[in-house]
Structure 1
Amino acid sequence: MKIHPLITTTDALAELCDRLAKADFICVDTEFMRESTYWPELCLIQIADEHEAAAVDPMASGLDLSPLLDLLVDNEDVLKVFHAGGQDVEIIYNLTGKTPHPIFDTQIAMMAVSQSEQIGYSNLVESWLGFSIDKGARFTDWSRRPLDARQLEYAIGDVTHLAKIFPRLLKRLIKTGRGEWLDAEMEKLADPENYRNDPNKAWERIRASGRNPAMLGRLRALAAWREYEAQDKNIPRGRIARDETLADIASHPPKAQADLGKVRGLSAGWKENEIGRRMMATLANAKPLTDEELPPRTPRGAPLGKEGALVADLLKLLLKIRAREIDVASRLLARSDDLELLAAGVRKNLALLEGWRFEQFGRDALELVEGKLAFAVLGGRLKMTHIDEIHEEMGARRAADDAAEVDADPADEHRGPGIAVSIEE
């Protein structure tokens, strides 16, 4: 594979993108810094197909990224391959208002051909290519210039290795017939709604107990205010105030700005500074949530009770068995929240009861809840089977034992061929 020198000019970038636009797929990775900023600071973009690779310096003076961004978000003929690409896609969305499409994520794909939930890139390379990556440059400051040869070699490796792995992984998916399992997952990754930052929805990410409309209205207002403050200063939102601090203030609003100096998580200066005044104005203007805006009464993890919790535990055991049997990540088959909802009696709008998930796991999950499926220890191995099959097998074994002319330990007459547990309606 040809490795180009660091690209720092628009002409060189345009020439590279013209060639890559003819490829079936391109592998993409980014290096960025966001520890001290609200918006991630893009420091390097790596891109490769099967024949050539390059790193692009977005910090280079006069460089126009348009040729590359057009390739990523407007060219529908080229598949864009990432590994754990959520943050990379977010950066591209911030720059263009669009997401790369079509898209493929090797971390997600590995869930369909192995039991790896979130395989890291270094483990992916070791698994498929048989060598370890030098991680010495992993925690480098990518914003510093100039970048040295070791940094560039490390960065380029993120796409050159991926360009070798992706075709092999794709062949595995085709051979197993599991490619269609991933279609919806890849579309979710490419959904712009995942990356659209609406300050008025920021409160939904903050844990707060209760459904008091006035309290939640204050929390919504405070969370949106914090987003605007952080964006304006380009600093992490936590530098303005932590989540738990906002939740505390929303639950117990101070009567006057002077009281802010007593709030845990805020400095004494808030009782008289400008940001404290802006927070108090936000609280004063906050409006309670309407009935339509309130979160649903039944949380995502439905209350189960003791018996329901036991059913959920058995469903999770069933999930582990099935994931092991077909060598797939259990999280791709079903989420814990959905299992708890199924145990609580919910039968609608559950992904595990639709499409390929129903065929691979959902049908068995329903039959377990309905008392038609059981766990058994047969031949020293835990498996799942239908109740009637267990009865048939136990009867056959008893008949064989009765017919055999062997001396038996007296205790054996109380020992069955397996242990089964079922759930009756």
Structure 2
Amino acid sequence: MNDTPATAATPVVPLSAPRDGVPPVLLLPEEFDEAAEKLAAGTGPVAVDTERASGYRYSQRAYLVQLRRAGAGSFLIDPIEHPEALTSVIDAIDGPEWILHAADQDLPCLRELGFRPAALFDTELAGRLLNFPKVNLAAMVAEFLHLGLAKGHGAADWSRRPLPADWLNYAALDVEVLVELRDHIAEALADAGRADWAAQEFEHVLSRRPAPPRTDRWRRTSNIHDLRTPRQLAIVRELWTTREEIAQRRDIAPGRILPDSAIVTAATANPADLSALVRLPVFGGPRQRRQADRWMRAIERARELPDAQLPPKKAPQVGLPPYNRWDQRNPEAAARAGAARPVLKTIAEDVGVPQENLLAPDVIRNLCWEGVAADQTVDQWLAEHDARPWQRELVADPIAEAIDSVQS
């Protein structure tokens, strides 16, 4: 498949502004209703994008929703003040296919607002199925349309009001050519015989259940592995939990409340009192001094815990152990993995699709760990674990043969 982008021989023309100019930001219910009428009168699929403020806010809510449809134009919708008034817009685009780039990133915050697509085309996921080395929006637009998108504000604080003009230009460009991009990618998928693969993948994205929340999220604190004692880990846990409560209540990204580095520093130092705490880096700053009592109480709670309630040095195992431990824990599973994983890698290379898209890593891990019951085939097992028909057609028989070779 496509190992090198065709744009290497084709000049890329900068696309610095929408062809019809940047549309106004819609804030009021009556403006939403007017946009809904235009969208409903448009034709074809609807290009959809959102902007969030992940590095600035605790929530993952959408602070701007961008829509575009042929015959209707582009719309920038501010959903913050009147989210309840979005019903007319939601109804207007309920039915047509939605085009998103990396839909997994946008669908959660859209669903929070009440938007739910009936059909989907994900240009980023399609790029993976076509085996392009770069599948970000700018790369895909350059590859298929030979246009260069003006980028640079994706990680901005989109909760800011009013939004700067150059940010709005960037937001409008994200849907400006998404419909045209979708058409070119759909043609490439059809030419490659992968249109049905893509349709199955898009349906899977729409029907996939949200992942369960992680346990012991505090253990993901940066540099926590430098700590050596359960008591230090308890301090991290209490400071992390306190920070989480503040961040959620104030809707501020946790790292902006207190950086991970300060949490680990406090756990290492284990300050005896408030004066010792505020002598530590970060804690002595003006903003942290106002919260110093609260941080100190968290440290004291950890210090007062009985040994039996301290967190273990190693996190309790969630899910399967790493492959390199299977020989001791489950030799039969290790043998199955040793036979099946190289086969999967070879198929991915031969077909020209990323291995993680050919079959999800968790699926092959669980298959090798559990094995297949005597009255069940590998194909049946894969079907019960959400593998799509196109994936099973490619991998079920070769994996079955590989597993049989080490079990016979």
Of the candidates 5, 24, 27, which is equivalent to residue 47 of structure 2?
Answer: 27
State whether structure 2 residue 391 is matched by structure 1 residue 357.
yes
Matched residue, 1:106? 123
Q: Quickly say closer, same or farther: Cα 1:352–1:329, change in 2 above 3 A.
A: farther
1:268-279 alignment to 2 at 5 Å?
A: 273-279=292-298
**1:366–1:140 Cα change, 3 Å:** same
* 176-185 vs 31-40, greater mean Cα deviation: 31-40
Assess if the C-alpha contact under 8 Å between 2:101 and 2:123 holds in 1: yes
- 2:15 paired with 1:15: no
Is the Cα–Cα contact under 8 Å of residues 52 and 61 in structure 2 kept in the other structure?
A: yes
Q: How does 1:156-167 map to 2 (within 5 A)?
A: 156-167=172-183
Distance in 2 between residues matched to 1:355 and 1:163, nearest whole Å: 28
Partner in structure 1 of residue 203 of structure 2: 183
Q: Encode CA deviations 1:188-221: one digit per residue, 9 max, x unaligned.
A: 3xx4x45x9x798744756988xx9999998776
* 1:378 counterpart residue number: none
**Code of the aligned partner of 1:234:** D
Q: Distance in 1 between matches of 2:260 and 2:153?
A: 33
Q: Measure how far apart 1:280 and its partner are.
A: 3.9
- Deviation of 1:304 (Å): 2.7
The aligned runs of 1:17-416 (5 Å cut-off) are 17-21=36-40, 23-39=43-59, 44-56=64-76, 58=78, 64-68=82-86, 71-72=89-90, 76-93=94-111, 96=113, 98=114, 100-102=116-118, 103-112=120-129, 114-116=130-132, 119-135=135-151, 143=160, 145=162, 147-148=164-165, 151-170=167-186, 173=189, 176=194, 177-178=196-197, 179-188=199-208, 191=209, 193=210, 202-203=217-218, 223-241=240-258, 261=277, 267=283, 273-280=292-299, 283=302, 295-296=317-318, 298-299=320-321, 303-305=325-327, 312=337, 315-344=340-369, 346-347=371-372, 351=385, 355-371=389-405
The match for 2:378 is none
In structure 1, distance between residues paired with 2:121 and 2:236: 37
Q: What amino acid does structure 2 have at the position aligned with 1:27?
A: A
How many angstroms apart in 2 are the aligned matches of 1:364 and 1:305?
Answer: 23
Q: Are the structure 2 counterparts of residues 242 and 318 from structure 1 closer, same or farther at C-alpha, using a change threshold of 3 Å?
A: farther
Offset of residue 90 of structure 1: 4.0
The change in CA–CA distance for 1:21 and 1:347 in structure 2 (over 3 A counts) is farther
Please tell me whether the aligned partners of residues 17 and 71 of structure 1 are also in contact (alpha carbons under 8 angstroms): yes
Q: CA–CA distance in 1 between the matches of 2:164 and 2:239? A: 41
Mapped to 2, the partners of 1:353 and 1:180 lie a distance apart of: 10
Q: Contact 1:301 / 1:337 at 8 angstroms: preserved in 2?
A: no
Query: What letter is aligned with 1:126?
Result: A
- Matched residues in 2 for 1:368 and 1:134: separation? 48
Instruction: Work out the number of aligned pairs and report it.
Output: 359
Matching residue's letter, 2:326: L
Q: Residue 358 of structure 2 contacts residue 391 of structure 2 at CA under 8 Å; is this kept in 1?
A: yes
Larger Rg: 1
TM-score for the superposition, normalised by structure 2? 0.65
Give the partner amino acid of 2:293: E
Q: Is the 8 A contact 1:26 1:79 kept in 2?
A: yes
Contact 1:304 1:343 in 2 (8 A): no
Aligned twin of 2:9:
none
Q: 2:252 is paired with a residue of what secondary structure?
A: coil
Query: What is the identity percentage for the equivalent residue pairs of Structure 1 and Structure 2?
Result: 19
Higher relative contact order (CA 8 A, sep 6+): 2
| Deviation by residue 1:9-33 (Cα, 9 ceiling, x = unmatched) | 4323311113324555311112344
Contact 2:47–2:68 under 8 Å retained in 1: yes
* Shift of residue 162, structure 1, vs aligned partner: 0.8
Q: Name the CA distance, whole Å, in 1 between partners of 2:292 and 2:33.
A: 50
The one-letter amino acid of 1:274's match is: D
CA contact (8 A) 1:134 1:154 kept: yes
- For residues 299-356 of structure 1, give each alpha carbon's deviation from its aligned partner in whole angstroms, at most 9, with x where no partner exists: 3657234998797576444334322333333211124454455555644876487744
| 8 A contact 2:50–2:66 mirrored in 1 | yes
Q: Which amino acid aligns with 1:14?
A: D
The structure-2 alpha-carbon separation of the partners of 1:221 and 1:361, relative to structure 1 and needing over 3 Å to count, comes to farther
Gapped runs of 5+ residues in structure 2?
Answer: 1-18, 374-380
Gaps of 5+ in 1: 372-422
3-state SS of paired residue (2:50): strand
Is the CA contact 2:283–2:292 (under 8 Å) kept in the aligned structure 1?
A: no
Residues 26 and 67 of structure 1: is their aligned pair in 2 closer, same or farther, counting only changes over 3 Å?
farther
